[in-house]
Amino acid sequence: MKEKNKSVLIEKLAHKFLDRFQILGLLPFAFFIARLFELKQKGAAQDIFWVCHFSNLTLAIGILFFLPTVIRASLYWLVCGLPLWVWWLIQAGTTDITSAFTHIGGLIIGFIALAKVRVTGNIWLHAFSGFILLQQYCRWFTPEKLNINMSQNLYVEGVYVGGEKFFNVYWQYWLGTLLIIAFNLWLIERILMKVFPENQNQVEEMN
């Protein structure tokens, strides 16, 4: 009888855990770790700080710890970065499977999570501020030649960026791209607010 009760209790606890929203956060975390492992194998572990890879870590943290603002900002990063990844994919002609996981897989998980937490206003400011902080970290603490998040200059090795056609010096490029990123994040939020309007009951449940 005791064994039966123990088995029922374990089953209930497991069912409760698997039903939790947080379990979803393990997927972007796995994408992040897989990408980091592959980059480390190639001797390019610092590339994990590219915003689309890094956003999988922040998305995982947001889901695992019920942080709606972090979830939303992470998804904004992924949406904003997707066209650039596609452009670079066309330029390079190939990509790693783990890069597809962080860009496509992370995006899918992000949208699933966003359907739960919905969209509120001014999250784009958090995403924009977070990007600046990440970019400045890359500028000061990652190798200049890697130019992660375009934190050093106008060029990325092996990829035509096109910024040199419009800007003569890096600070002009940096300021110009920040303005474009800010507008894109704002626009992304405007669109997502139409698709995932705020549901007060769901927001309170997460908070």
- Say whether pLDDT at 87 is over 60: yes
Written as one string, the DSSP assignment of 145-201 is: GG-GGG-S-S-BTTB---GGGT-SSHHHHHHHHHHHHHHHHHHHHHHHHHHS---HH
Sign of the dihedral defined by the CA atoms of residues 23, 28, 30, 32, in that order: negative
Written as one string, the DSSP assignment of 79-130 is: HHHHHHHHHHHHHHS---HHHHIIIIIHHHHHHHHHHHH---TTHHHHHHHH
- Say whether pLDDT at 206 is over 80: no
Q: Write down the residue that tokens 């089953």 correspond to.
A: 11
pLDDT of residue 193: 96
Contact 130, 185 (CB under 8 A): no
CB atoms within 10 A of CB 140: 8
Mean pLDDT, the chain, rounded, equals 85
If one compares 12 and 136, the residue with the highest pLDDT of the two is: 136
pLDDT of residue 18: 47
CB atoms within 10 A of CB 85: 19
